[in-house]
Every structure is written in C-alpha cells, then in structure tokens.
C-alpha cells in the first residue's frame, strides 16, 4: 500500500523509534490488539527500530472508568503518538476520535491470501487473486449529520441526515485519485444519485480528475456495484464511497476473501497521521475465549508500517502470514475442513513469530 501522503514523519522520535497508542476497547478488541503488538514488536526488533506502546481507553470502559467515551487523557496520548492501533467498541467514542483528528480518508484493502481462495464466497470458476482498495470518506455523511428523535401529528419518528459539503467530497476524491494513479488506474465511484441528486459525487470527482489524466473514472450506482463485487470482483481497482456505502461495501469484502476477520483499515488525516483498526466488531460471543482471529488487526498494523515507510517490515509479516496459512493453520472463523488445523489466537501468534 502506497502511503496516503509522503509528508508524515514520526513526531519527535526520528525514524528508528515510533510511539503507538494501543486502544483495545471492548469484546475481542484487547485480545487482537495485544496479539498484533506482539508480532509488531518482533518485526521491529528484526528490522532495527523500536516501538514504544502506551495504552488509552475509549468507549464503554472509558465511560465507566473516566466518565467519558473519549477522555481527554486518551486524546493527549494520541497527540504524542505516531499511530493509533485500535481494537473495537460497541458505541461511543470512536466517531468522536475520528472527527477530532479528522481521519477523513479510510483505506480498506481487500486482498485475498492464496491459501484461502477456496474459502471465499465466489463460484470456483471466479476464484482469482483479489486486490481491491475501498476508500471510504470517514468524518462526514449520515453518521455525522443532524439526527435525533422528534414527533409530529403522525407520531414519534427518528431521523439521520446525510450531508456532504462539496469540499469534503473533493478532498477524498483527490486522495482516491492519488491511490488509483499508483495502482491500475481505475477509480469506481459508488453513488446513489438517482435517489440522492443533491450530493453530486460523480460531477465533483470528475472535476478533480482533470488533474489525473491517466485515471479512468467509472461512476456506478451502489446497488449495482455491490452486485458486481459478488459476480466479478476482479474488475475493480479503487472504489470510492461515502461513509455509509463504504461501511457496507467493505464488509462485503470479508465474504470475498473468506472472513471479515482478515480485513484491516487505515484512517488517515491530511498530515499522514493514522488510526489503524480491523473492520470487524466486538464479537462478544467469542470474547475472552482466546479464539479470535488477530489477522485483521495485524493487517491494520501492516498498513501502519507502510504509512511510516517501513515496507520491509510490512513485507516480512505478509510473507509470514502466507506461510502459516499455507501450512493449513486456521482460526475458527475460517471454517477449517479436511487437513486444515484449528488453532487459537495464542497458537497462531506463536506460529507467526516462528516464521518471522
């Protein structure tokens, strides 16, 4: 993954030491964050740099212990960090964190492991290596528009408002065009302009695209886009979507590669500072059982390394993952069958450490 911006440098730490704020959150979040930190620390040692880890609170646990979903103490920790490695929360704190640091550009790669291609949702004749990048606008749209509960003569109702400023669309368009230019040169715009004509994604992206003559722009209604992702996902390169559509489409990507537990994300602001989190939720049904798949959070850690320019360290982890999976080791979400070997979180981490 090419960094979103080349302007970012590790704050006050030089290129040999990086500071991470780890926020486990709720559910399986603390488990997968700790598992990923163990691997990141090992590869940092092998590659000759150091990671300093501090821990922050967010979400329900922060509310219980500090009286706020997003405590000021957590914000101050993040202010001093080079990256935030995040687990999961049910509600409260995460949207506020994204908004506070203006993490507007959410990168969600959908890449398949060779050893897991047969576990995807695709028909056998459609199974090929996948490499799609979904770019989701993350700090505006329906999740941040006016909302509430009210009543009129018909009764009580709820409302959430999808609102986008033109400049918010233009800036995510520029980031998406930069990524597409570095990749295969195709940018697909997810839109619903037949029903939402006052939010002109297509026109605004096309206007920004005049500065990127080598990128092909492909507007596509989001419902058709979702269908095409299932029928022929290899046709896509970079997909640009608003907050709501990007959320849904990237979860669909989990089915394409075998599990939502495999997918990570990077949420980057204009300075290149980022929040790195798996796209899965808290999974309360398996929390505390030691069987969670840490590869989604680890994929997020890989994106963090790449954003820092630590491409060799990132590649080491990718290759170690592929070797472990090629040996048949699987966590529960990957539905082991036949000769595949079920392992828990700790065993998978140890296998990855051995491969590193």
Supply the residues annotated as catalytic: 143, 192, 223, 247, 251
CA distances from 266 to 194, 239, 327 (A): 31, 15, 29
The residue ranges of DSSP E strands in the chain, in sequence order, are 17-25, 50-55, 83-88, 105-111, 131-137, 147-152, 155-160, 186-191, 216-221, 238-241, 264-268, 274-278, 329-330, 341-342
Burial 270-285 (b: 16+ CB within 10 A, else e): eebbbbbbbbbebbee
CA distances from 149 to 152, 158, 337 (A): 11, 4, 48
How far apart, in whole angstroms, are the C-alpha atoms of residue 149 and residue 351? Answer: 50
Helices (H) and strands (E) in the chain, counts: 11, 14
Question: How, if at all, do strands 147-152 and 155-160 pair?
Answer: antiparallel
| Cα–Cα nearest to 13, from 55, 43, 46, 54 | 54
Q: Which residues pair with 148 in a beta bridge?
A: 159
Two structure tokens written together for 186: 């195709």
Rg of the chain in Å (alpha carbons): 20
| Cα–Cα nearest to 135, from 317, 260, 1 | 1
How far apart, in whole angstroms, are the C-alpha atoms of residue 306 and residue 204? Answer: 29
DSSP class of residue 280 equals: S
DSSP 145-214: S-EEEEEETTEEEEEE-----HHHHHHHHHHHHHHHHHTTSEEEEEE-TTT-TTS-HHHHHHHHGGG-TT
Task: Count the residues in the chain.
Answer: 356
């Amino acid at each position: 993954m090419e960094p979103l911006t080349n302007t970012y440098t590790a704050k006050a730490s030089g290129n040999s030491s990086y500071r991470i704020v780890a926020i486990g959150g709720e559910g399986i979040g603390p488990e997968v964050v700790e598992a990923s930190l163990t691997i990141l620390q090992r590869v940092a040692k092998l590659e000759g740099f150091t990671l300093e880890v501090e821990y922050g609170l967010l979400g329900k646990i922060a509310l219980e212990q500090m009286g706020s979903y997003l405590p000021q103490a957590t914000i101050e920790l993040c202010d001093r960090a080079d990256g935030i490695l995040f687990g999961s929360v049910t509600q409260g704190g995460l949207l506020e964190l994204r908004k506070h640091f203006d993490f507007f550009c959410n990168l969600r790669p959908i890449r398949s492991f060779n050893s897991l291609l047969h576990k995807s949702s695709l028909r056998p004749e459609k199974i090929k290596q996948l490499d799609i990048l979904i770019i989701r606008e993350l700090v505006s749209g329906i999740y941040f528009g006016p909302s509430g509960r009210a009543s009129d003569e018909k009764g009580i109702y709820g409302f959430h408002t999808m609102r986008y400023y033109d400049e918010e669309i233009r800036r995510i368009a520029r980031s998406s065009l930069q990524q597409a230019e570095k990749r295969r040169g195709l940018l697909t715009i997810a839109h619903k302009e037949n029903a939402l004509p006052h939010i002109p994604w297509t026109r605004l992206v096309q206007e920004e695209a005049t500065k990127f003559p080598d990128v092909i722009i492909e507007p596509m209604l989001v419902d058709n886009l979702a269908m095409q992702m299932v029928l022929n996902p290899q046709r896509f390169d970079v997909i640009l979507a608003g907050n709501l559509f990007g959320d849904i489409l990237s979860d669909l990507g989990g089915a394409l590669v075998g599990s939502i537990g495999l997918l990570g994300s990077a949420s980057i602001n204009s300075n290149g500072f980022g929040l790195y989190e798996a796209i899965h939720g808290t999974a309360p049904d398996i929390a505390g059982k030691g069987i969670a798949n840490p590869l989604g959070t680890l994929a997020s850690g890989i994106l963090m390394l790449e954003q820092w320019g630590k491409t060799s360290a990132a590649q080491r982890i990718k290759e170690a993952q592929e070797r472990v999976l090629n040996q048949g080791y699987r966590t529960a979400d990957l539905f082991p069958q036949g000769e595949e070997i079920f392992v828990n979180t700790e065993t998978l981490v140890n296998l990855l450490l051995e491969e590193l």
